[in-house]
């Protein structure tokens, strides 16, 4: 497993930085926790909710 790799599309667009990635299987690992995503961001949005929504991009790339 690669820890915190930057994933990009074949044309170089940034997909994201998952907690882990198994390149041979194409499996992304994300561990969502309020420990690391607690509180609100500068715009007043719940940080965990923003993270969960942003991470939907991994599903769309499958």
What pLDDT was estimated at residue 51? 84
Among 2, 34, 35, 36, which residue's Cα sits nearest to residue 19?
2
Give the C-alpha separation, 6 to 3, whole Å: 9
**Residue 3, SS3 per DSSP:** strand
Enter the tokens of residue 40.
Answer: 């609100």
Could you list the pLDDT tens digit for every one of the 62 residues in the chain? 999 999 998 999 988 889 999 999 999 998 887 777 889 989 999 988 888 888 888 777 76
Give the C-alpha separation, 46 to 10, whole Å: 32
Give me the phi and psi of 59, to 5 degrees please: -65, -35
């Amino acid at each position: 497993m690669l820890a915190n790799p930057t994933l990009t599309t074949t044309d170089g667009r940034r997909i994201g930085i998952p907690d882990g990635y198994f390149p041979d299987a194409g499996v992304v690992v994300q561990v969502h926790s309020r420990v690391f995503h607690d509180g609100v961001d500068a715009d007043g949005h719940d940080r965990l909710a923003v993270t969960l929504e942003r991470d939907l991009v991994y599903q769309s790339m499958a």
